Structure 1
């Protein structure tokens, strides 16, 4: 593996989005540095994460709650509830698309945000803000459509990396929540990674005391990035 020097800059402290009363700080790859999918494939293995064109890692002074999480595809053990989810979605149609703006995708995103995260800033996203958050000018990203009875039901945004997939974001029609499309999207990505002989599925950050992140413990065995190494954590 070729070693490269990547310039970073440290943000000022800001209110944490996940833990009430906490202050957060992040290290970002400097915008003058030209990122590529191969370089990001190395950075994500070191605990970094993409948001739009920006790549960052938590560097909070008083807190280390945000822990990068991933699954080793060949070691994944499906649970009974996940098998039921697959059965429930055995007629769900899937289409993989390029990361371009589509009005029905945006409309679904806004319905999801207003229903699930109505008090957050993303519930007021413009079309440009929506696309710049999920897509990237340099990363190999796809929008995966899930449809039920010819009705758009959900979208999984997935980065295709050198030896892994990365689950960027998933949103779905709140009226179809009984299909557990958030779970199905992760299971679909696991199966795709297996078919493509990729080693990992990156799941973003796991935060023990954040309910929004608690679902990640359902995918076992989960690997967490602590002290600059990946270790398996079973619950």
Structure 2
């Protein structure tokens, strides 16, 4: 049985709250921040990459070369027909039985557009060498935090999985964060033993939020026992440990927007 700890994300202090709780393992979904707090499981651990210490593997360098023809653009969080068509194609091919499979165009628009913080839609296009026509092949909804980029949700053309385009989008976000002087790229939750989540462990300088602190990921097999611990802290004890931001503090200076082309 899944259980989550969550809070509303709204008002003039939304960015400060999102910045603070993201550092404590929370994730954003529209105007809500949440963190798994299941009574008999601690498998879901927030993961992030330390940009300064990241070194791509040979395989990841090949992925960069394979997708070097793509162009990147950064837009405001506004849903488009092309995005939704790509989203449906992605879900029907890769996640037909997932929780988002029945999402209609209005729900998709809400996912993209309902954000009280600084959010961008990062799009990737391929250009036909003969006609010059551009095709949307990947999209990532990305939050800009005070210490990094948070990849809220990404999707892409399923046939480009052979070129590891999902990995490419992460690698490109590492470049974006480096360009903006941001130290982290937040990847969402990593679950030890999950095949769907296993790709995250292949990135160097990966940290996971475990036992109220960020630790560098060691051997993924070392975390298998954490999937079913005998006891987790009660929710009240977890809430008491959460550090909230100073709501009277001066608003942070926003980092620059990502460059439009790669």
1:21-170 paired onto structure 2 within 5 Å? 23-30=1-8, 36-149=14-127, 150-170=134-154
Name the count of aligned residue pairs.
213
* 1:77-112 deviation per Cα after TM superposition (whole angstroms, max 9, x unaligned): 211111001011111111111110200100110110
Alignment partner of 1:218 is 2:202: yes
Q: Which protein has the larger Cα radius of gyration, Structure 1 or Structure 2?
A: 2
Runs of 5+ unmatched residues, structure 2: 128-133, 220-262
> How far did residue 57 of structure 1 move?
0.6
SS at match of 2:6: strand
> How far did residue 137 of structure 1 move?
2.8
SS at match of 2:189: strand
Q: Distance in 1 between matches of 2:50 and 2:28?
A: 20
Cα RMSD between the aligned structures?
Answer: 1.6
* 1:114-135 deviation per Cα after TM superposition (whole angstroms, max 9, x unaligned): 1111112422211121122344
> How far did residue 32 of structure 1 move?
7.4
Residue of structure 2 equivalent to 1:6? none
Deviates further, 170-179 or 206-215: 170-179
1:232 to 1:121, Cα distance in 2 relative to 1, 3 A: closer
Q: Distance in 2 between matches of 1:34 and 1:197?
A: 25
Runs of 5+ unmatched residues, structure 1: 1-22
Deviates further, 121-130 or 41-50: 121-130
Deviates further, 177-186 or 80-89: 177-186
Between Structure 1 and Structure 2, the one with more strand by share is 1
Give the alignment's TM-score, normalised by structure 1. 0.86
Q: Distance in 1 between matches of 2:112 and 2:76?
A: 12
